[in-house]
Chain A
């Protein structure tokens, strides 16, 4: 209860809400309407089929319609029962929840256990003015969802549950969306991945409706003509088309995810991220649960001078959920990322000048990339070349000439990325070149240390030191890769003074 009773105001609030709201409340009745949204796709595709066949429905279509009707009845009935039987109330100490038809279930979630509250709404729910309220209680158990409440009710419940109230100060807004950030959208995976995914989806949809794209006259003709006429023109054109489509898709996705983005301290103890065009997300992270901030710079984004920001925080659900909920900033300029980190952590941290790792780490990186990427392809090509055709030998040579410089560049970049340092309260770790991550961790959040080495790394005099933090996101901890073995224990001891002392010699 200490957190709730932190100041007089919230105490008064808590008292007041318990008086006013101790009676049981229900979910919004429009929930039932929102449940019907699933009817859209099957009915739509059925209508399309009907249109395509000129209003003539086959037996199969009738059967489908029958099944839909049956499922509709069952789901609506179930939804009605759930709606009827779900009750909740907020008392001074807990949120109480009653659910279930046959086995009645009563759950009481102590208010001081509530770590964060998200409001999300799918497009259908938004049209109806509904939101899903999810409650995170820390630990790794499933989050509790109230599905669904009216927006006003949900906002009120959120303030009640967080029981702190107070209007945010004027300077509490850390960042809002900036249209200029859109230029970073194409620097994400979605440029190519998006086109492939969308293409696959379209193909499946057409296939599902019984349309075979390659049998449509114009498509087939254009393919045949282009293919025959100029292959050297077709391939670059196709690439450019994919690139253009992908860029458009990436921008659309960026807008969908980050529309009306806003990062703010909604009150001095709660960090809130709200965003989304169709589905709106609003994630609140309690300051006490915030263990640090990670700045991610994937290769492409880094080349464009961009970065994204994640919170390192507990109680955001399992690893996958955490990945989605912990994001604090979309791809945006690096300077902006640093500014946001300073705003979230409350101080600026220098993470550019870190303690470098021993030179031997570079050699290990070079060996690794040569042994695992360059060599296997070369060997396979050479073997096949010797057995089949000398052309492949030339391919092997070309591959070597092309891949070795690239591999060396990547290895060097990976080596330069390695670094660690203790900056006041913060343990800073940086590594990675394809996906560079610079994480600043609260040193008091470190719950365990692990030192890992293999015969190879022992000979090289390095080891990997892992700081375990009570956060589901990084299930295997934060690694300081290939640091000098002789410094490892001393560094860990300096981060968590006294923890290792008795085991040192």
Chain B
């Protein structure tokens, strides 16, 4: 059983490309925007009132505020888009998400209890949805964010249908 050489392949279906814009907007709202604004305010105040502090304040704000914000805004959506994917198999639903910590989660369709589709105000603007598939365990909830409306509907339908077919005792 050790090293069967079997590896998990990524799920087949990518999320909608528009999800990148949604994640970027989210990153701008929090925490990117506030971080950049703080940096700007600090530098402006320093220029106006304490020009002497600039030599050490500029690198410090760049390092602690601007760089993390930019990395988050620019890198996170790209990485997320590369990772996020989903697939409804014959007996299980399989998702991948995250960007720094990446999770791949597999739950048997026979254990599915509910399929929720949620559209936040921001998501609606981009025509996206989040599908949450709950199982009996709180640790077993499968969530995939950034699906297009159409995909979300299809996924929910296929899971519901498959779950009906493979239904055993879902408790």
Contact = CB atoms under 8 A, between A and B. Distances in A.
B54 to A, nearest CB: 24
A330 to B, nearest CB: 28
Interface residues of A, number: 42
B48 interface: no
A127 to B, nearest CB: 40
A201 interface: no
Contacts of B11: 503
B102 interface: yes
Interface residues of B, number: 35
A422 B2 CA distance: 12
Interface in B118-153: 135-140, 142
Nearest to A489: B8
Interface in A430-463: 447-455
B102 A447 contact: no
A490 interface: yes
Given A450-B103, A452-B101, A505-B7, A471 B1 contact: no
Given A468-B137, A503-B94, A447 B108 contact: yes
Contacts, number: 118
Given A470-B171, A474-B139, A503-B89, A448 B106 contact: yes
A335 interface: no
A447 B141 CA distance: 10
A504 interface: yes
A411 B77 CA distance: 36
Contacts of A492: 106
A284 to B, nearest CB: 19
Contact of B9 (A138, A498, A503): A503
A498 B102 contact: no
Determine the main DSSP class of B at the interface with A: loop
A47 B80 CA distance: 67
A403 to B, nearest CB: 28
A176 interface: no
Interface string A467-485: 0111110111100000010
Contact of B108 (A422, A466, A476, A499): A499
A171 interface: no
Contact of A447 (B5, B6, B90, B107): B107
B111 A503 contact: no
A357 B139 CA distance: 23
A453 B101 CA distance: 5
A462 B89 CA distance: 26
29 contacts: A140-B138, A355-B2, A447-B135, A447-B140, A448-B105, A448-B107, A448-B108, A448-B140, A451-B8, A451-B103, A451-B105, A452-B98, A454-B100, A468-B139, A474-B139, A475-B138, A476-B138, A486-B5, A486-B7, A487-B3, A489-B8, A490-B2, A499-B91, A499-B92, A500-B92, A500-B106, A503-B8, A503-B94, A504-B9
Interface of A: 138, 140, 314, 355, 422, 447-455, 466, 468-472, 474-477, 484, 486-494, 496, 498-500, 502-505
